[in-house]
């Protein structure tokens, strides 16, 4: 999972930091243009406009169709009749304050990581429903530490936009999830435990030619292709000490990982030229390429003293020019650019009335 459960981490804590109020005088004109929008904090200069899409529950991992006309996302909104994350579909101009989007997963088991296929009429996603139609348990703590579950019942499926499963792409024992599709429309990258560790693999969009592209101990996941399909950005943990290695292996044997220390890595689409992009500390995750292909937008709490807030940052693919993009008091994550580069969808706790809700927002982007 790329992972909606990071939202739950915030619920463990009762306090939050304060927004920074530093201003750059040369940005005053852009600030004034956005000042009428209460959803945009004054420092968020890259948001020309911002609108809220969902209004309750945990909503995340929204991904654009190849023609930018629709998005699919996962939600556990109890008002929509689901007990755990399921896949939902929306047209790009919609919002859901007064009505419910159509569910396009089976409603069985738990789902995650839906992504459109190039035909705009099918998508891939992971689900546990073959193992059990009930929602699996979601452990949040292990020995006092925050954890993510890595369900070995996850497999990757293809479905149409009416919710009919039309194919199954994985059937190996263990965890198979976190699938995303190359903008070229020829490859899928996903995370699997089939080697005994959480590694990245690619396959053709029909599930053939499965190829392992990472092989270092640690959690490799949340991978996305560059706009030209030649590179992959992902998050990874890299336990180094004997104690850290033993802890990682023990947790993984129990179907768990600790996501509190992750950095970003980048490589060619075949796994070559692998290099570490960030060395910030804490949790750096949910990376996505800027439309130029030369920058990465990601979520991090590296500036936080108590594990939060999470904000969006941007960094060049050579690791230079780190820049803060959002100035939330709690949680901003899962940034995804539209294919034309004009819009950014992301998840945030802003404007939730002090509740625990995480909602989707769509920003008109300006560089």
State the chain's mean pLDDT as an integer: 91
**What is the pLDDT averaged over residues 83-96?**
97
Q: What is the pLDDT of residues 157-206, one digit of tens each?
A: 999 999 999 999 999 999 999 999 999 999 999 999 999 999 999 999 99
Distances from the Cα of 4 to the Cαs of 56, 86, 118, 276, 357, in angstroms?
A: 14, 12, 25, 24, 12
Q: Hey, what domains does the chain have and what are their CATH numbers?
A: 5-365 (2.120.10.30)
Q: Which of 171, 168, 173, 278 is nearest to 233 (CA)?
A: 278
| Whether residue 242 has pLDDT greater than 50 | yes
| Whether residue 333 has pLDDT greater than 50 | yes
Reported pTM? 0.92
Bridge partners (DSSP) of residue 206 are none
Residue 300 sits at φ, ψ, to 5 deg, of: -155, 155
| Whether residue 28 has pLDDT greater than 70 | no
Under the banding of pLDDT at 50, 70 and 90, the label for residue 21 is very low
At 320 the three-state DSSP class reads coil
| Whether residue 124 has pLDDT greater than 90 | yes
Record the tokens describing residue 20, joined without a space: 């920074």
């Amino acid at each position: 999972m790329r992972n909606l459960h990071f939202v739950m981490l915030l619920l463990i804590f009762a306090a939050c930091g304060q927004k920074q109020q530093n201003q750059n005088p040369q940005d005053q004109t852009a600030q004034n243009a956005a000042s009428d929008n209460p959803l945009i904090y004054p420092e968020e200069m890259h948001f020309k406009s911002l609108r809220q899409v969902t209004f309750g529950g945990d909503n995340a991992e929204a991904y654009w169709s190849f023609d930018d006309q629709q998005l699919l996302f996962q939600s556990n909104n109890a008002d929509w009749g689901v007990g755990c994350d399921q896949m939902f579909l929306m047209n790009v101009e919609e919002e859901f304050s007064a009505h419910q989007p159509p569910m396009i997963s089976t409603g069985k088991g738990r789902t995650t990581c839906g992504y459109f296929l190039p035909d705009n009429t099918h998508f891939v996603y992971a689900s546990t429903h073959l193992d059990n139609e009930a929602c699996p348990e979601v452990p949040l703590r292990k020995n006092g530490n925050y954890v993510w579950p890595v369900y070995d019942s996850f497999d990757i499926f293809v479905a149409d936009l009416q919710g009919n499963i039309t194919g199954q792409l994985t059937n190996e024992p263990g965890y198979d999830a976190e699938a995303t599709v190359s903008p070229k429309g020829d490859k899928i990258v996903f995370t699997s435990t089939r080697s005994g560790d959480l590694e990245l693999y690619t396959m053709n969009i029909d599930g053939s030619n499965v190829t392992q592209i990472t092989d270092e101990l640690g959690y490799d996941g949340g991978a996305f292709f560059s706009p030209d399909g030649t590179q992959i950005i992902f998050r990874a943990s890299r336990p180094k000490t004997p104690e850290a290695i033993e802890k990682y292996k023990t947790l993984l044997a129990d179907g768990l990982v600790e996501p509190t220390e992750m950095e970003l890595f980048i490589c060619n689409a075949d796994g070559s030229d692998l290099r570490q992009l960030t060395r910030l500390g804490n949790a750096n995750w949910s990376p996505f390429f800027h439309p130029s292909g030369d920058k990465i937008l990601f979520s991090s709490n590296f500036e936080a003293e108590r594990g939060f807030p999470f904000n969006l940052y941007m960094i060049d693919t050579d690791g230079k020019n780190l820049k803060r993009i959002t100035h939330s008091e709690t949680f901003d994550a899962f940034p995804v650019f539209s294919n034309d580069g004009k819009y950014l969808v992301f998840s945030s706790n802003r404007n939730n009335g002090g509740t625990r809700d995480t909602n989707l927002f769509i920003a008109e982007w300006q560089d």
